A and B are shown apart, each in its own frame.
Chain A
Amino acid sequence: MRPGPITRLPNFFSHYGRQLGTLAGLVGLILVLWGLTPHFLTVSNLLNIAEQATIIAIVAAGMTFVIITGGIDLAVGSVLAFSGVVMASALLRGLPLPLALLLGLGVGLTCGLINGLLITVGRLPPFIATLGMMSVARGAALMYTEGRPISGFTESFRSLATGEVLKIPTPVIIMIVVYLIAHFVLRRTKLGRYTYAIGGNEEAALLSGINVRLYKTMVYGIAGLLSGLAAILLTARLNSAQPIAGMSYELDAIAATVIGGTSLLGGEGTITGTLIGALIMAVLRNGLNLLSVSSFFQQVVIGSVIILAVLIDMGLKRRGK
């Protein structure tokens, strides 16, 4: 029997209801800020927020894959710094732009794959493996640059961050493309289905013939690759690659993912939720700046929002069962 519209409806909500919830949170936040300051709801400020969200959002997209498998990646911020400085020095040494970009992505991908192998072949807990990589990649970035930032790039490289397409900043467009691809991969491909399966029950996934090692390694590779992409955008944005860049970005990315409804226990989560989570964080920071809230109190507010978002999420889940 074909399911009628009525039987399909609850299905629709179980699928998208949680994201609708997060989305409603974002809309609520926007409405409140609109009421509080005239500077908030302007086209230029909204584009400004989208641009500010891009780097964490791109890192968080990779983090979502990792967290859905039930893992965690603490290395993304350090990997970002390392990819950034390697690419930057290659650019300054005159490597053609496309090759330098590929090099940056490649460094990120490699670090991610090493994480994956340490976890799958080395059987290290993701927390430990990526904690180690966090320190290794940071140290490598510092050694590579002797602690100094690398700066002074060509206009064509910088236009990756400063350019516009149809009045929309290039980084925002790149972010949207990343999310479209990530959404497609997670929803429509074998890799995506296996990501959920591994996070839901790794043992069962293994027994049903999924090559868990391969797909898990790929997932950490994706996280590294996206850190490399974020490094490119950050370097172009600041016109400088810093070995100390990206510190604590892993925590911002985890926060965006979790606010977006992805469970740290694995097996569930959506890429759209993470995008909304990253936007909530950016809107919150922007709004707090616009309202001239003291920087200390801002941290209290952001932390509270993370805690409350997850509390509400968990409460709803319990009730749903």
Chain B
Amino acid sequence: MKKALGLILLGILSMTFLSCQRGTEQSGGTPRIALVLKTANNPFFIDMQKGAEEAAKKLGVTLIVQAAEREVDVEKQMQIIENLIQTKVAALCVTPSGSREIVPAIEKANRAGIPVVIVDTRVDAKTMSESTGKVATFIGSDNYEGGRLAGEFIAKKLDGKGKVAVLEGIPGHETGDSRLKGFREALKAFPGIEIVATQTANWERDQGFNVFQNLLQSHPEIQAVFACSDLMALGAVEAIAAAKKTGQITVVGFDASDEARKAILGGTMDATVAQSPAMMGAMAIENAYHLIKGEQVQAEFVVPIKLITKENAGTSDK
């Protein structure tokens, strides 16, 4: 039975640890709003969290932020949402890890009377229409337009002629798919530009490095690369440096993270598309607050985006 005692002790020990960490659990009568991020270790979502925290402070609501360990882990995200439903949060803001897989979780929240605000990644319209759930409002960037801007930039940079590679995000992700669609649409006006390779790097930096290194082997003639996120673009930048081709290949990313801006100023990257994650986070909390108060909100908010190049990379405008 010593083991039993040991384990109990262990439980108590770890919980005492936790009790130092908690604080948002019982905070009187202020409404509690939860923000579930895809991941807590991507600068984009860290900025979003900051924006949400500031808005929560201003409105006097308690904000709970949770994220799965891995961005792609839809099951864990569902578990987190289920657990938050148990704590009876007043509203849920979610950046879906999967555009379709999130739908059962939305249904569950709605059944418990909790409104769901979707941020950043759009929910799959078909899956949603077949379900009993309802997205209270969607807040996100115009990813299609962002992809289009990136495509035009590359086409102009290459003078309408050249070979281009694409690093995709996880297939089936609405954000990445829309960016890609916009990118392809923009290139349609430039028949001289050819997409010679398109591969997924799963939104990850190290995969961006590996995949682009391989692409450079198979297609040494590549003149430009569009990565659907800055992390993957920065991975490609390193692969280009390893191949001693820095400056010869145009690199365009997406997200305008601090590191990407630095890379643009340093000349290793050429452009990125700026979203405003902090603004998205703040708008999510504000709209959740309106919903709790029983007020009507718009079905959709499009957060403005713009192309960041050497000219404006130094000005922070998050």
Interface residues of A (CB under 8 A from B): 17-18, 20-25, 27-29, 31-33, 35-39, 42, 44-45, 48, 51-52, 55, 146-149, 151-152, 162, 234, 237-240, 242, 244-245, 247-248, 285-299, 301, 304-305, 308-309, 312-313, 316, 319
Is the Cβ of A239 less than 8 Å from the Cβ of B69?
no
Is the Cβ of A45 less than 8 Å from the Cβ of B86?
yes
Known: A18-B3, A28-B11, A33-B15. Contact between A289 and B25, CB under 8 A?
no
Residues of B within 8 A of A290 (CB): 25, 83, 86-87
Is the Cβ of A149 less than 8 Å from the Cβ of B101?
yes
Distance to closest chain B CB from A247 (angstroms): 7
Does B298 touch A at the CB level, under 8 Å? no
Q: Mark B21-39, 1 if CB is under 8 A from A, else 0.
A: 1111110000000000000
Does B92 touch A at the CB level, under 8 Å? no
Does B214 touch A at the CB level, under 8 Å? no
**DSSP majority for the A interface?**
helix
Is the Cβ of A28 less than 8 Å from the Cβ of B8?
yes
Residues of B within 8 A of A23 (CB): 4
Instruction: Determine the distance from Cα of A244 to Cα of B64 in the docked complex, in whole angstroms.
Output: 28
Residues of A within 8 A of B6 (CB): 21, 25, 308, 312
Residues of B within 8 A of A28 (CB): 4, 7-12
Residues of A within 8 A of B15 (CB): 32-33, 35-36
Interface centre among A42, A45, A319 (most CB of B within 10 A): A45
Known: A39-B86, A247-B73, A309-B10. Contact between A21 and B4, CB under 8 A?
yes
Of the 9-residue stretches B74-82, B188-196, B233-241, B307-315, which lies at the interface with chain A? B74-82
Is the Cβ of A292 less than 8 Å from the Cβ of B12?
no
Residues of A within 8 A of B83 (CB): 48, 285-286, 289-290
Interface centre among B3, B14, B18, B78 (most CB of A within 10 A): B3
Does B161 touch A at the CB level, under 8 Å? no
Is the Cβ of B86 less than 8 Å from the Cβ of A288?
no
Is the Cβ of B172 less than 8 Å from the Cβ of A39?
no
Is the Cβ of B82 less than 8 Å from the Cβ of A147?
no
Is the Cβ of A296 less than 8 Å from the Cβ of B40?
yes
Taking A238-B101, A290-B86, A308-B10 as given, write out 19 further A-B residue pairs in contact, using a Cβ cutoff of 8 Å, ordered by the A residue number.
A18-B3, A21-B2, A24-B7, A25-B4, A28-B12, A44-B86, A237-B75, A239-B131, A285-B83, A289-B84, A290-B87, A292-B25, A296-B40, A301-B14, A301-B17, A301-B18, A308-B6, A312-B10, A316-B3
Known: A292-B22, A292-B24. Contact between A247 and B7, CB under 8 A?
no
* A-B CB contact pairs (8 Å), 13 listed: A23-B4, A24-B8, A25-B3, A25-B10, A32-B12, A37-B87, A52-B79, A55-B75, A147-B170, A152-B130, A238-B75, A292-B23, A308-B10
Known: A48-B82, A289-B66. Contact between A20 and B1, CB under 8 A?
yes
Partner of B74, one of A48, A242, A292: A242
Classify chain B: how many residues form its interface, as a range.
35 or more
Residues of A within 8 A of B316 (CB): none
Is the Cβ of B66 less than 8 Å from the Cβ of A52?
no
- 4 shortest interchain CB distances as A-B pairs: A25-B7, A24-B4, A21-B3, A28-B8
Is the Cβ of B7 less than 8 Å from the Cβ of A299?
no
Does B103 touch A at the CB level, under 8 Å? yes
Distance to closest chain B CB from A242 (angstroms): 7
Is the Cβ of B21 less than 8 Å from the Cβ of A149?
no
Distance to closest chain A CB from B113 (angstroms): 13
Interface residues of B (CB under 8 A from A): 1-12, 14-15, 17-19, 21-26, 40-41, 64-70, 72-75, 78-80, 82-84, 86-88, 98, 100-101, 103-104, 124, 126-127, 130-131, 170-172, 200, 202
Residues of B within 8 A of A148 (CB): 171-172
Residues of A within 8 A of B25 (CB): 36-37, 290-292
Is the Cβ of B170 less than 8 Å from the Cβ of A21?
no
Instruction: Determine the distance from Cα of A148 to Cα of B200 in the docked complex, in whole angstroms.
Output: 11
Distance to closest chain B CB from A120 (angstroms): 32
Residues of B within 8 A of A292 (CB): 22-25, 64, 66
Residues of A within 8 A of B84 (CB): 289
**Chain B, Cβ-Cβ closest to A311:** B6
Instruction: Determine the distance from Cα of A316 to Cα of B1 in the docked complex, in whole angstroms.
Output: 10
Partner of A36, one of B18, B40, B70: B18
Partner of B104, one of A33, A238, A296: A238
Is the Cβ of B171 less than 8 Å from the Cβ of A147?
yes
Instruction: Determine the distance from Cα of A110 to Cα of B170 in the docked complex, in whole angstroms.
Output: 28
Residues of B within 8 A of A149 (CB): 98, 100-101, 172
Interface centre among A38, A242, A292, A308 (most CB of B within 10 A): A292
Residues of B within 8 A of A239 (CB): 100-101, 103-104, 127, 131
Distance to closest chain A CB from B272 (angstroms): 24
Is the Cβ of B4 less than 8 Å from the Cβ of A294?
no
Is the Cβ of B7 less than 8 Å from the Cβ of A316?
no
Is the Cβ of B14 less than 8 Å from the Cβ of A244?
no
Known: A295-B69, A301-B18. Contact between A238 and B12, CB under 8 A?
no
Partner of B72, one of A29, A244, A299: A244
Instruction: Determine the distance from Cα of A195 to Cα of B126 in the docked complex, in whole angstroms.
Output: 48
Partner of A24, one of B1, B21, B70, B72: B1
Known: A289-B66, A290-B87, A292-B66. Contact between A297 and B21, CB under 8 A?
yes
Is the Cβ of A237 less than 8 Å from the Cβ of B7?
no
Instruction: Determine the distance from Cα of A240 to Cα of B104 in the docked complex, in whole angstroms.
Output: 10
